[in-house]
């Protein structure tokens, strides 16, 4: 877990397209919302916005991606490091913005401009404070999310 706090805003603060305050954001409503700065995930219909990651975090992610890319065939496997919408499920809406994801090219499912297929590997890099210091240290930690028979992957809690 990251030792630094991330700001979270509830979807109740987001005005719905009909002018009402939303309790739970649906997939269709989410598609109509404008793009936002920073990182945004939806968990069970609730919008969670987080500030952009620090430079050291990006360096660790890019180094992991570089090491993976030299070992994988780019025509068969995609290694993605940019923030993109990965739809975990549509009801209740849950999307994630992982640091790195690996997809088999011929199994990639794109709908409405977002990815709806499970990655073969999802990586999240955590930052921790060095004891007795104000400095942060990044360490690569991978979370392998096992596939279900349906092709989706189990959500971590």
Q: What are 34-75's pLDDT values in tens digits? A: 888 788 999 999 999 888 888 988 999 999 999 999 999 999
Q: What are 124-153's pLDDT values in tens digits? A: 888 765 566 555 454 544 444 445 454 544
Q: What are 76-104's pLDDT values in tens digits? A: 999 999 888 899 999 999 999 999 999 99
Q: What is the pLDDT of residue 128?
A: 66
Contacts of 119 (CB under 8 A, 6+ apart): 86, 98, 101, 102, 103, 145, 153
Q: Copy the structure tokens of residue 19.
A: 């002018």
Mean pLDDT of 18-25: 62
Q: In 3D, which of 38, 34, 36 has the Cα closest to residue 51?
A: 38
């Amino acid at each position: 877990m990251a030792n630094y706090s991330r700001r979270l805003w509830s979807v109740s603060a987001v005005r719905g397209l009909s002018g009402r305050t939303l309790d739970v954001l649906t997939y269709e409503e989410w598609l109509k919302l404008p793009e936002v700065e920073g990182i945004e995930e939806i968990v069970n219909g609730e919008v969670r916005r987080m500030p952009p990651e620090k430079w050291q975090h990006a360096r660790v992610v890019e180094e992991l991606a570089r090491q993976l890319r030299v070992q994988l065939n780019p025509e068969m496997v995609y290694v993605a490091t940019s923030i993109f919408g990965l739809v975990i499920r549509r009801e209740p809406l849950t999307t994630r913005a992982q640091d790195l994801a690996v997809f088999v090219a011929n199994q990639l499912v794109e709908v409405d401009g977002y990815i709806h297929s499970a990655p073969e590997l999802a990586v999240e890099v955590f930052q921790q404070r060095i004891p007795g210091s104000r400095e942060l240290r990044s360490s690569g930690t991978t979370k392998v999310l096992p596939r279900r028979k349906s092709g989706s992957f189990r959500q971590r809690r």
